[in-house]
Amino acid sequence: MAIIDPRHAAKQLIYERVFRAATLTAAALVLVILGGVGISLARGSWPALSHFGFSFVTREIWNPVTDEFGALAAIYGTVVTSIIAMAIAVPAGFGIALFLTELCPPLLKRPIGVAVELLAAVPSIIFGIWGLFVLAPVLQRHVQPWLIEYAGAIPGVGKLFMGPPYGIGVLTAGFVLAIMVLPFIAATMRDVFDTVPPMLKESGYGLGATTWEVIWHVVVPHSRVGIVGGVMLGLGRALGETMAVTFVIGNAHRISSSLLAPGTTISSSIANEFTEAVGDLYTSSLIALGLLLFVITFSVIAAAQAMLRRIERRASLAL
């Protein structure tokens, strides 16, 4: 028996090249998809952007009848709902991560961790339907009247809590978003906290520090970059989240000083209006909104990934 049959070897080499080329193509396809998204959105939004110019992002007007479109209300809604979401979800996510890494009895660690991950797996449309039928009525009946009566009376801040309690609106959308991004923030922070070498924490305890002092003065400084990365990952999600917001925001293209009033976001405008959009300029304006969202979320998520990568590298060096 010949040890190496030359024909066999040649065939093997061909297979090898073909297989390698196939895997390389698949990997390159990931880049092609991202490039394709950018190019197709840019092309689709060109009619609107060339027609309105820079004023597209500075004007509040959104009038399909007169074909005048500006993205400011949608951008405002996106930013404000995300700020509300982050204001709630970041401290809460920090608390959950802290509980899971430092306080939780080992027996409960897994079940609670899994529960948090399940919350992340619930599809966004479910958050939307729950937000509309359960959360919004509760807020309307119990929380918003209270806010209007007490917070509305505070000079300055009061403007944010004026008007009738609709139930749906910017504030409700922010609440639903907060619940949605909470598991992502909590899970990332937990993973980041786990990268802190036990020796560092033990040194803190050895000096007589309390649990909170160890967390605040040892764990947090050590994992600062990762914490920011996790927060920005959550922010990326909140900015681009569509269905949950579409249900509860009320879809009104205007900027109200009150958080209780209906508003709109970039993604919910697209979801609500795209299939009904008649006229090239209308469709193109919606795609231009998509392009804006793409650029914003891409930058935020890319920055988050870069930060998380840095902490991963440092953790692997420390080991």
Partner 1 sequence: MSRRSFRKFKNGVFLALSLIATLAGLACLAAILWTLISHGLAGMSWHLFSQMTPPPGSRGGLLNALFGSTVMTVLGILIGSPIGVLAGTYLAEYGHNSRLSVLVRFINDVLLSAPSIIVGLFIYEVVVVRMGHFSAISGALSLAVLAIPVTLRTTEDMLNLVPIGMKDSSAALGAYPWRTIISVLYPAARSGIVTGLLLAIARISGETAPLLFTALNNQFWSTNLDAPMANLPVVIFQFALSPYKDWQDLAWAGALIITATILILSVSARALLALLQSKGGSAR
Residue numbers 76-115 binding partner 1 by CB under 8 A: 91-96, 98-100, 103, 112, 114-115
Question: Which position among 254, 305, 312, 314 is part of the footprint of partner 1 (CB under 8 A)?
Answer: 305
**Minimal distance, residue 260 CB to partner 1, in Å:** 21
Using alpha carbons only, give the angle 108, 98, 305 rounded to the nearest 5 degrees: 110
CA–CA distances in Å: residue 64 to residues 7, 17, 257, 283, 289: 69, 55, 24, 10, 15
Q: Is residue 69 a contact residue for partner 1 (CB under 8 A)?
A: no
Kindly write down the DSSP assignment for every residue of 224-290, as one continuous string.
HHHHHHHHHHHHHHHHH--HHHHHHS----S--S-TTS----HHHHHHHHGGG--SHHHHHHHHHHH
Contact positions with partner 1 (CB under 8 A) in 170-189 = 179, 182-183, 186
Question: Which position among 10, 134, 153, 199 is part of the footprint of partner 1 (CB under 8 A)?
Answer: 134
User: Angle of helix 266-273 relative to helix 280-318, nearest 10 degrees?
Assistant: 140
* Contact track, partner 1, 197-236, x by CB under 8 A: -------------xxxx-x-----------------x--x
Contact positions with partner 1 (CB under 8 A) in 242-261 = 242-243, 246-247
Using alpha carbons only, give the angle 302, 303, 306 rounded to the nearest 5 degrees: 85
Question: Which position among 46, 130, 146, 166 is part of the footprint of partner 1 (CB under 8 A)?
Answer: 130
Question: Which position among 41, 86, 227, 307 is part of the footprint of partner 1 (CB under 8 A)?
Answer: 41
Question: Which position among 258, 264, 285, 297 is part of the footprint of partner 1 (CB under 8 A)?
Answer: 297
Q: Is residue 36 a contact residue for partner 1 (CB under 8 A)?
A: yes
Q: Which is nearer to partner 1, 57 or 112 (CB)?
A: 112
Q: Is residue 157 a contact residue for partner 1 (CB under 8 A)?
A: no
Q: Is residue 282 a contact residue for partner 1 (CB under 8 A)?
A: no
Maximum CA pair distance of the chain? 95
Question: Which position among 47, 159, 298, 314 is part of the footprint of partner 1 (CB under 8 A)?
Answer: 298
**Minimal distance, residue 249 CB to partner 1, in Å:** 12
Q: Is residue 40 a contact residue for partner 1 (CB under 8 A)?
A: yes
Instruction: Say how many residues touch partner 1, by CB under 8 A.
Output: 91
Taking the CA of residue 287 as centre, how many other CA atoms within 13 Å lie in the half-sphere pointing to its CB?
Answer: 19
What sections of the chain are H helices per DSSP? Answer: 6-52, 72-98, 106-121, 124-130, 136-138, 144-150, 170-194, 198-206, 211-214, 220-222, 224-240, 243-248, 266-273, 280-318
